[in-house]
């Protein structure tokens, strides 16, 4: 079968159903042909499956080295985890911020029913009280350690009933003071639970502090759902990663300064890693649409919302349907879901469906109507909606040969940079490292050649 053509011998069970509004003015062959071409362009732009997995591996390697070198940590017992789009391998080097999860290992939050006698004595234990908004909890001190932690003690308060609570707001205040001691980050203005900073090389870093959490009941309910995706081995892997709690309450709660949010960052990175090539590219395209077309001013819609749309789409449909030729169909389907989400202000969190991700988005009625109309226009455009995205539009205009050359150069430079990042921890360069010398020399050669080509 020629690329972009329709395979008439394909069983009907492996083909997506006709979508009336999409195919009414566009033939299936045309839509499928555009889908294949867009997938190929996305690969050249750095969103292919191979480069995505290589990024994930490099950032995991970098995290492992960070966590082995305690001299890079201001407090012993912290685990650094690269999360967000960098941890998922979905963005190029300078395309987005670096999101870092800083997990305090000597604290543990547990669900009711978890036996704390199985937990080492040097771990300070808090009991979750989930009788708040779904996906959030209060943290009641269950077992303090003999040594105690000053910053943690300063963040504790009495609830008036004899219970000691760990306040998310006070905890974040204490950790914002401590974050200034990290010697390679210049603090910036606080943004929600995130503590932004600038690295020495100008990299924007968003740091989120977290405590480890054991919530087997929540994960069991998620794991036992009927689904097409992910496969059972991935489900078990996600369960084994557990969760964390981050210092942010539900915006609509009067006690949000006490509440914590239950998160599954590492498990969600694993889920994104197990999206197939078409699903991952669809997620990236949705993020482009959010940034370039929807343009939310106050994070009324976030990439996290889009990620959950992709997760639900993957769970509810067989993996065989997500092929290159069906990309535009699934984009149309995802835009339809996004339109409904905005219109109804309702989207279940993939890990905890009882939590509505749109419950506190503060989306005004006028803005909601405008976005619904804009998304409807995009859906009516069919395959041409792709031309709204500047990066893809420029790639379409570009001649294939220069585009391929650019793609190869960009990929090599990115891989060299990631390897250099690992070998030059904290900005320290080992001049005796022969491989590092070769990396730096190769980077210089590439940039000189690119400069000559530009002239």
Higher-confidence position of 243 and 252: 243
What is residue 293's predicted lDDT score, i.e. its pLDDT?
A: 93
Structure confidence at residue 246 as a pLDDT band (50, 70, 90) = very high
What is residue 249's predicted lDDT score, i.e. its pLDDT?
A: 94
If asked whether residues 135 and 178 sit together in one domain, one would say: yes
If asked whether residues 98 and 194 sit together in one domain, one would say: yes
Using the predicted structure, report yes or no on whether residue 224 has a pLDDT greater than 50: yes
If asked whether residues 326 and 344 sit together in one domain, one would say: yes
If asked whether residues 22 and 104 sit together in one domain, one would say: no
Structure confidence at residue 191 as a pLDDT band (50, 70, 90) = low
Structure confidence at residue 2 as a pLDDT band (50, 70, 90) = very low
Using the predicted structure, report yes or no on whether residue 185 has a pLDDT greater than 90: no
Structure confidence at residue 78 as a pLDDT band (50, 70, 90) = confident
Most confident of 50-59, 95-104, 306-315, 408-417: 306-315
Of the three residues 388, 417, 435, the one that is the final residue of a domain is 388
Using the predicted structure, report yes or no on whether residue 120 has a pLDDT greater than 80: yes
> What value does the mean pLDDT take over residues 259-276?
97
Using the predicted structure, report yes or no on whether residue 184 has a pLDDT greater than 60: no
Using the predicted structure, report yes or no on whether residue 102 has a pLDDT greater than 50: yes
Structure confidence at residue 183 as a pLDDT band (50, 70, 90) = very low
CATH classification at residue 299: 1.10.1410.40
Asked if residue 6 belongs to a domain, the reply is no
> What value does the mean pLDDT take over residues 111-120?
92
If asked whether residues 22 and 75 sit together in one domain, one would say: no
What is residue 5's predicted lDDT score, i.e. its pLDDT?
A: 39
What is residue 435's predicted lDDT score, i.e. its pLDDT?
A: 87
Asked if residue 2 belongs to a domain, the reply is no
Domain of 39 in residue numbering reads as 12-47+275-388
Most confident of 62-76, 325-339, 428-442: 325-339
Number of domains in the chain: 3
Q: What's the chain look like in SS3? A: CCCCCCCCCCCHHHCCCCCHHHHCCCCHHHHHHHHHHHHHHHHHHHHCHHHHHHHHHHHHHHHHHHHHCHHHCCCCCEEEEEEHHHHHCCCCCCCCCEEEEEEEEEEEEECCCCCHHHCCCCCEEEEEECCCCCCEEEEEEEECCCCCCHHHHCCEEECCCCCEEECHHHHHHHHHHHHCCCCCEEECCCECCEEEEEECCCCEEEEEEEEEEECHHHHHHHHCCCCCCCCHHHHHHHHHHCEEEECCCCCCCCCCCCCEEEECHHHHHHHHHCCCHHHHHHHHHHHHHHHHHHCCCCCCCCHHHHHHHHHHHHHCCCHHHCCHHHHHHHHHHHHHHHHHHHHHCCCECCCCCCCECCCCCCCCHHHHHHHHHHHHHHHHHHHHHHHHCHHHHHHHHCCHHHHHHHHHHHHHHHHHHHHHHHHCHHHCCCCCCHHHHHHHHHHHHHHHHHHHHHC
If asked whether residues 37 and 102 sit together in one domain, one would say: no
Asked if residue 448 belongs to a domain, the reply is yes
What is residue 3's predicted lDDT score, i.e. its pLDDT?
A: 37
What is residue 190's predicted lDDT score, i.e. its pLDDT?
A: 64
Asked if residue 319 belongs to a domain, the reply is yes
If asked whether residues 280 and 411 sit together in one domain, one would say: no
What is residue 25's predicted lDDT score, i.e. its pLDDT?
A: 59
Asked if residue 270 belongs to a domain, the reply is no
Using the predicted structure, report yes or no on whether residue 338 has a pLDDT greater than 60: yes
Using the predicted structure, report yes or no on whether residue 196 has a pLDDT greater than 80: no
Of the three residues 218, 246, 265, the one that is the final residue of a domain is 265
Structure confidence at residue 10 as a pLDDT band (50, 70, 90) = very low
Structure confidence at residue 201 as a pLDDT band (50, 70, 90) = low
CATH classification at residue 146: 3.30.460.90
What is residue 231's predicted lDDT score, i.e. its pLDDT?
A: 97
Asked if residue 256 belongs to a domain, the reply is yes
If asked whether residues 247 and 120 sit together in one domain, one would say: yes
Using the predicted structure, report yes or no on whether residue 444 has a pLDDT greater than 70: yes
What is residue 321's predicted lDDT score, i.e. its pLDDT?
A: 96
Of the three residues 205, 230, 265, the one that is the final residue of a domain is 265
What is residue 287's predicted lDDT score, i.e. its pLDDT?
A: 97
Q: Please, what is the average pLDDT of the chain?
A: 87
If asked whether residues 254 and 332 sit together in one domain, one would say: no
Number of residues that this document lists for the chain: 455
Using the predicted structure, report yes or no on whether residue 23 has a pLDDT greater than 60: no
What is residue 153's predicted lDDT score, i.e. its pLDDT?
A: 81
The predicted model scores a pTM of 0.89
> What value does the mean pLDDT take over residues 264-268?
97
Structure confidence at residue 222 as a pLDDT band (50, 70, 90) = very high
Asked if residue 4 belongs to a domain, the reply is no
What is residue 146's predicted lDDT score, i.e. its pLDDT?
A: 73
If asked whether residues 73 and 17 sit together in one domain, one would say: no
If asked whether residues 158 and 245 sit together in one domain, one would say: yes
Asked if residue 29 belongs to a domain, the reply is yes
End-to-end CA distance of the chain: 42
CA distance 73 to 68: 10
If asked whether residues 103 and 212 sit together in one domain, one would say: yes
> What value does the mean pLDDT take over residues 121-144?
94
């Amino acid at each position: 079968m020629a690329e972009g053509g329709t395979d008439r011998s394909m069983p009907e069970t492996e083909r997506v159903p006709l979508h009336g509004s999409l195919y009414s003015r566009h033939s299936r062959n045309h839509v499928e042909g555009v889908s294949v071409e867009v997938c190929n362009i996305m690969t050249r732009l750095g969103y292919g499956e191979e480069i995505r997995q290589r990024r994930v591996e490099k950032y995991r390697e970098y995290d492992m080295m960070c966590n082995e070198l305690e001299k890079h940590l201001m407090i012993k017992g912290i685990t650094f985890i690269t999360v967000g789009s960098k941890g998922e391998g979905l963005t190029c080097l300078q395309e987005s911020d670096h999101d870092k999860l800083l997990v305090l290992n000597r604290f543990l939050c547990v669900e009711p029913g978890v036996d704390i006698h199985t937990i080492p004595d040097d771990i300070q234990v808090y009991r979750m009280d989930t009788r708040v908004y779904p996906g959030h909890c209060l943290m009641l001190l269950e077992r303090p350690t003999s040594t105690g932690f000053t910053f943690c003690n300063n963040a504790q308060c009495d609830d008036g009933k004899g219970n000691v609570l760990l306040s998310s707001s006070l905890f974040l205040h204490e950790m914002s003071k401590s974050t200034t001691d990290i010697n390679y980050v210049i603090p910036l203005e606080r943004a929600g639970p995130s503590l932004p900073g600038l690295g020495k090389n100008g990299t924007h870093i968003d740091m989120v502090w977290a405590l480890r959490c054991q919530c087997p009941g929540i994960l069991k309910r998620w794991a036992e759902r009927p689904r097409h995706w992910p496969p059972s081995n991935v489900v078990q892997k996600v369960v084994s990663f557990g969760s964390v709690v981050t210092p942010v309450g539900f915006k609509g709660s009067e006690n949000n300064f006490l509440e914590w949010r239950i998160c599954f960052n590492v498990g969600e990175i694993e889920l994104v890693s197990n999206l197939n090539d078409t699903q991952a590219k669809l997620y990236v395209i949705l993020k482009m649409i959010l940034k370039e077309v929807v343009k939310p001013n106050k994070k009324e819609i976030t990439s996290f919302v889009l990620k959950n749309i992709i997760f639900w789409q993957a769970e509810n449909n067989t993996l065989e349907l997500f092929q290159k030729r069906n990309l535009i169909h699934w984009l149309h389907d995802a835009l339809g879901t996004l339109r409904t989400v905005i219109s109804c202000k309702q989207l279940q969190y993939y890990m905890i469906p009882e939590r509505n991700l749109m419950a506190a988005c503060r989306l005004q009625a006028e803005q909601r109507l405008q976005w619904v109309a804009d998304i409807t226009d995009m859906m009516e455009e069919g395959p041409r909606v792709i031309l709204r995205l500047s990066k893809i539009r420029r790639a379409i205009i570009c001649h294939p040969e220069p585009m391929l050359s650019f793609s190869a150069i960009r990929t090599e430079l990115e891989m060299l940079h990631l390897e250099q990042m690992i070998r030059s921890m904290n900005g320290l360069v080992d001049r005796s490292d022969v491989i590092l010398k070769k990396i730096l020399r190769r980077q210089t050669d590439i940039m000189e050649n690119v400069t000559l080509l530009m002239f």
